[in-house]
């Protein structure tokens, strides 16, 4: 260990110094991740060694207080802890790499401050820079500059003899903003955390059978044969094509060949090339080009493929529909080591021979059925011949087997027998997918009030476009009003778990912490197999057209259904209306009369969109959900049509540009809840012709999420005297709440999660006497809590994890007699130590639970 080895023989601080030095050297020899940075720190320790020896030996002579030496010893221990954690980081853990790089930088800067009294080096305090906040665009743009430039910056540290701190500041990335930036992209559907979706390989089901042979054959055809550049896996819906493609991508040999340079794109029935190309660029971590037309999108796609194709590249195009040959043409380029795997219900002879995935043989089908039905020891009362007949009835389709098994799990023998009778009514001349729908249909039969509710919820899922994540918050709004649910959040999510348990849907949670029971569901989504969505729509169409409860309409281009064009059914009794249009929709709406509609779901992709004029006749409308599935926020007009919706209670808008909520004099006196997700609302509360208290006099709940141009809330929001819940999350530019927020005397929940520029709560917040839950988690610019927070006499739960700039907890917290739980992290927990133990208050230290393994494409 150079000359430092025996600097402090027997001295506590010196011993720690030596341990740290040894650990640094060992990590440098084993890891390439932090080598330049660690070398720089090691060099600094070398230069500090003589001075540290003097400090340890002669405190008085140097004027170094004993307590400073104690701080130095603690700092050495902290350094050892950080280095040990660094040694466990793998190169594909991008978030952790930069998290601990920042910790190392922070530790190094703090060491310099401890020695600053002697002016050893002129290194300034960098701690504030480590926690400086940036907007979400800055976080994403820094991601987009790619890891190459970052690592080049780190290398610059090792070779720069000038101001090391200046170089560090130039390349520092705040790890929190990386997480939040990527989470915003996740919310758009561009990258998804271990779930189905564009660009990232989906998660493989926990139990699969019968795919070993197909996998081996796929590898032989696509990997071993240099003449094959594209292979189409074809089979009927529900046969396991996507599962096979997923298993192929996660195979170790495949990952080794393509070095994880694998992109998984879900194409669907109405593909949008612009969106696909944008997602590919964002998945890679590159800046997204601007597309003026399809030609520029194609050029950008080809440029992307050529760039990525410099290394072995695997592209999976999942769920390609018949008639999409022109789309496949755009992805086909002649490049070595570039392979395309396509899954489709159809064959595409022009692109070579197809691989026909067979349904499961009987033995594998029985294995899957027993697993899905969880029979185990419980199967003794089920005659084996019934199980055999049910499995045979599923025709070897994994989807049908899973759904049938889940629906029969724990049921009595009579229910199993009833299922067989229902299936026997199906005609043998039906095609495979119709047979499958009939099999699935029988699994929906409701025998109790509870199962009837689950079926209704399942049918409502058909209101959203295929291959898109369905926000749980939208479902909560729909179901709370449709089915008069008390404790709406809890019951709605419970129903989703029941659907998941029956394999009728998948519940996907993207939030980085797994806290449950806090009512925060903005990062909960539902995904669903295409055939299950078709089943939901199929079920709705079994009713007479005029009597349907749900009217679900999908419009391709400007091709309206014939019955609508011809005004065949102008007056219908549907209580739910869903209309989905694609990017080519540009025509005016045909008239329609739906006076009974209570829930209206509008899905679109165009830059400009107008609410249908027949909305003004929906006098019973309670819930409006408007979702733009395009890439950028869209302008929506005709909001004035809502003035006649006297029963409208909930509005949810996603990716909508809102010039002014109060621009038109619309008084929505019944509106109780408004939710804005990824909307442009910077001007929404300004230049209005009517005050909020007049426009929305009975508003109870406001949810604003990922609205990144929100800088401040209007002061007159504090005049909404009925307000009980304000949730503002992931709004990184929000600087402050209105000073008059204390006027919201009925406020019970205030959630300010991940508002990273927010510095403090107004002093008047002490007047929130009914506030029971305060969430300021991940607001790491907050420096202090209100001095009189103890006056929030009803506060029962406080979430303050990752509030890294918070210096202390006011003494008045001792007056919070109703406080039952405080959620902290390791750092913020220490702020409560002087007050412990607190009677009836539980301090919960939430552990880090962030999963960004899908970021492996950015690894160095």
- What are the two backbone dihedrals, phi and then psi, of residue 593, each rounded to the nearest 5 degrees? -115, 115
pLDDT at 820 exceeding the cut of 90: yes
The H or E element containing residue 233 is strand 230-234
Query: Same domain for 570 and 718?
Result: no
pLDDT at 778 exceeding the cut of 50: yes
Query: Same domain for 536 and 575?
Result: no
What is the rounded average pLDDT of the residues 657-672? 76
Give dist(CA 193, CA 189) in Å, integer: 10
Angle between helices 449-460 and 530-540 (to 10 degrees): 110
Query: Same domain for 594 and 722?
Result: no
Give dist(CA 768, CA 740) in Å, integer: 11
pLDDT of res. 840: 87
**318 inside domain:** yes
pTM here?
Answer: 0.63
Total domain count, the chain: 5
Contacts of 436 (CB under 8 A, 6+ apart): 236, 237, 238, 395, 397, 399, 400, 531
Q: How many beta carbons lie within 10 A of that of residue 18, not counting itself?
A: 21
Termini Cα distance of the chain = 30
Half-sphere exposure of 137 (CA within 13 A, CB side): 6
Last residue of a domain, one of 657, 676, 702: 702
Q: What is the mean pLDDT of the chain?
A: 76
State what percent of residues in the chain have pLDDT above 90. 25
pLDDT of res. 744: 95
**758 inside domain:** yes
**299 inside domain:** yes
Q: What is the pLDDT of residues 153-169, one digit of tens each?
A: 444 444 443 444 444 43
**437 inside domain:** no
* The two structure tokens encoding residue 251: 């195979």
pLDDT of res. 141: 42
The H or E element containing residue 581 is strand 576-581
Q: What is the pLDDT of residues 210-244, one digit of tens each?
A: 999 999 999 998 888 778 889 999 888 788 899 99
What is the rounded average pLDDT of the residues 259-274? 82
**272 inside domain:** yes
Query: Same domain for 567 and 536?
Result: no
Give dist(CA 423, CA 394) in Å, integer: 9
Query: Same domain for 573 and 626?
Result: yes
Query: Same domain for 617 and 691?
Result: yes
pLDDT of res. 428: 36
What is the rounded average pLDDT of the residues 291-307? 85
Query: Same domain for 154 and 64?
Result: yes
pLDDT at 142 exceeding the cut of 60: no
CATH number for the domain spanning 732: value is 3.80.10.10
Q: What is the pLDDT of residues 683-699, one digit of tens each?
A: 766 655 577 888 889 99
Last residue of a domain, one of 356, 372, 397: 356
- What are the two backbone dihedrals, phi and then psi, of residue 439, each rounded to the nearest 5 degrees? -65, -45
Query: Same domain for 195 and 343?
Result: yes
**597 inside domain:** yes
Query: Same domain for 584 and 531?
Result: no
Last residue of a domain, one of 483, 517, 542: 542
Q: What is the pLDDT of residues 499-523, one digit of tens each?
A: 887 778 888 888 777 666 678 888 8
Query: Same domain for 534 and 552?
Result: no
Query: Can you give the residue range of the structural domain that contains 476?
Result: 444-542
Give dist(CA 661, CA 688) in Å, integer: 7
Categorize the per-residue pLDDT at 114 as very low, low, confident or very high, splitting at 50, 70 and 90: low
* The two structure tokens encoding residue 581: 């249009």
pLDDT of res. 174: 39
**418 inside domain:** no
**391 inside domain:** no
The answer to whether the beta carbons of residues 529 and 507 sit under 8 Å apart is: no
CATH number for the domain spanning 503: value is 1.10.10.10
CATH number for the domain spanning 302: value is 3.40.50.300
Query: Same domain for 112 and 246?
Result: no
pLDDT at 580 exceeding the cut of 90: yes
The answer to whether the beta carbons of residues 469 and 633 sit under 8 Å apart is: no
Q: What is the pLDDT of residues 18-33, one digit of tens each?
A: 666 666 666 666 555 5
Query: Same domain for 586 and 679?
Result: yes
Instruction: For residue 480, give the 3-state DSSP assignment.
Output: helix
pLDDT at 297 exceeding the cut of 50: yes
Query: Which residues are registered as beta bridge partners of 265?
Result: 317
The answer to whether the beta carbons of residues 185 and 140 sit under 8 Å apart is: yes
CA 696 to chain centre: 30
pLDDT at 70 exceeding the cut of 80: no
């Amino acid at each position: 260990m150079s000359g430092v080895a025996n600097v402090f023989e027997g001295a506590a601080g010196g011993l720690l110094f030596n341990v740290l030095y040894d650990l640094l050297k060992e990590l440098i020899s084993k890891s390439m991740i932090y080598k330049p940075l660690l070398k720089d720190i090691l060099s600094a320790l070398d230069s500090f060694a003589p001075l540290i020896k003097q400090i340890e030996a002669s405190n008085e002579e140097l004027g170094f207080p004993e307590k400073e030496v104690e701080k130095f010893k603690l700092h050495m221990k902290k350094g050892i802890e950080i280095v040990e954690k660094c040694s466990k980081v793998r190169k594909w853990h991008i978030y952790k790499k930069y998290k601990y790089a920042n910790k190392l930088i922070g530790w190094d800067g703090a060491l310099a401050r401890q020695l600053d009294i002697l002016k050893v080096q002129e290194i300034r305090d960098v701690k504030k820079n480590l926690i400086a906040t940036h907007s979400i665009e800055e976080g994403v743009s820094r991601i987009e500059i790619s890891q190459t430039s970052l690592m080049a910056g780190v290398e610059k540290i090792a070779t720069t003899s000038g101001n090391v701190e200046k170089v560090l500041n130039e390349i520092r990335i705040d790890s929190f903003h990386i997480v939040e930036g990527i989470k915003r992209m996740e919310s758009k559907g561009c990258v998804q955390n271990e779930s189905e979706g564009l660009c990232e390989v989906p998660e493989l089901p926990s139990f699969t059978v019968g795919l070993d042979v197909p996998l081996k054959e796929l590898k032989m055809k696509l990997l071993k044969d240099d003449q094959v550049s594209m292979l189409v896996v074809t089979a009927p819906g529900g046969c396991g094509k996507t599962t096979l493609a997923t298993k192929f991508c996660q195979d170790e040999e495949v990952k080794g060949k393509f070095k994880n340079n694998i992109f998984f794109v879900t194409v669907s029935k109405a593909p949008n090339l612009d969106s696909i190309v944008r997602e590919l660029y964002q998945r890679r971590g590159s800046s997204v080009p601007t597309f003026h037309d399809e030609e520029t999108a194609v050029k950008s796609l080809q440029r992307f493929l050529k760039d990525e194709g410099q290394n072995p590249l695997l592209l999976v195009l999942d769920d390609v529909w018949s008639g999409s040959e022109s789309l496949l043409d755009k992805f086909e380029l002649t490049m070595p080591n570039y392979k395309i795997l396509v899954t489709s219900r159809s064959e595409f002879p022009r692109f070579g021979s197809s691989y026909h995935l067979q349904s499961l043989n009987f033995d594998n089908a029985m294995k899957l059925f027993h697993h899905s039905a969880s029979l185990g020891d419980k199967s003794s009362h089920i005659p084996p011949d019934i199980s055999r007949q049910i499995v045979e009835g599923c025709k070897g389709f994994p989807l049908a087997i899973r759904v049938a098994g889940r629906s029969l799990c724990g049921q009595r023998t009579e229910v199993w027998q009833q299922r067989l009778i229902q299936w026997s009514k199906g005609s043998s001349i039906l095609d495979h997918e119709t047979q499958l729908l009939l099999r699935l249909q029988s699994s929906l039969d409701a025998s109790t009030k509870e199962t009837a509710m689950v079926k209704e919820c399942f049918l409502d899922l058909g209101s959203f476009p295929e291959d898109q994540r369905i926000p749980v918050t939208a479902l909560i709004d729909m179901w709370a009003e449709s089915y008069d649910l008390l404790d709406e959040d809890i019951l709605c999510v419970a129903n989703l778990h029941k659907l998941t348990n029956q394999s009728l849907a998948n519940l996907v949670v993207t939030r980085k912490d797994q806290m449950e029971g806090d009512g925060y569901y903005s990062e909960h989504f539902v995904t669903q197999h295409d055939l299950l969505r078709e089943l939901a729509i199929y079920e709705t169409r079994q009713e007479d057209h005029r009597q349907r409860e749900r009217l679900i309409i999908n419009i391709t281009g400007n091709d309206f259904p014939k019955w609508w064009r011809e005004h065949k059914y102008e007056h219908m009794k549907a209580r739910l209306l869903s209309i989905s249009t694609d990017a080519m929709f540009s025509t005016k709406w045909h008239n329609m009369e739906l006076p009974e509609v209570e829930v209206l779901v509008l899905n679109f992709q165009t830059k400009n969109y107008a609410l249908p004029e027949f909305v003004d006749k929906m006098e019973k409308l309670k819930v409006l959900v408007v979702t733009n599935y395009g890439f950028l926020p869209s302008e929506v007009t005709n909001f004035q049509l809502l003035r006649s919706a006297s029963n409208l209670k909930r509005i949810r808008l996603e990716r909508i540009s809102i010039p002014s909520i109060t621009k038109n004099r619309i008084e929505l006196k019944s509106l109780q809840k408004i939710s804005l997700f990824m909307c442009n609302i910077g001007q929404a509360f300004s230049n209005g012709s009517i005050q909020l208290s007049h426009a929305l006099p009975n508003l109870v709940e406001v949810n604003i999420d990922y609205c990144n141009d929100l800088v401040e809330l209007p002061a007159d929001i504090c005049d909404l005297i009925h307000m009980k819940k304000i949730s503002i999350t992931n709004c990184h530019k929000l600087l402050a709440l209105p000073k008059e927020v204390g006027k919201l005397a009925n406020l019970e929940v205030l959630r300010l999660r991940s508002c990273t520029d927010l510095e403090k709560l107004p002093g008047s917040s002490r007047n929130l006497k009914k506030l029971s839950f305060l969430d300021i988690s991940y607001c790491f610019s907050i420096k202090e809590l209100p001095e009189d927070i103890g006056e929030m006499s009803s506060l029962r739960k406080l979430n303050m994890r990752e509030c890294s700039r918070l210096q202390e907890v006011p003494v008045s917290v001792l007056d919070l007699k109703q406080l039952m739980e405080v959620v902290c992290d390791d750092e913020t927990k220490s702020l409560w130590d002087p007050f412990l133990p607190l009677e009836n208050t539980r301090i919960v230290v939430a552990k880090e639970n962030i999963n960004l393994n899908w970021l492996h494409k950015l690894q160095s």
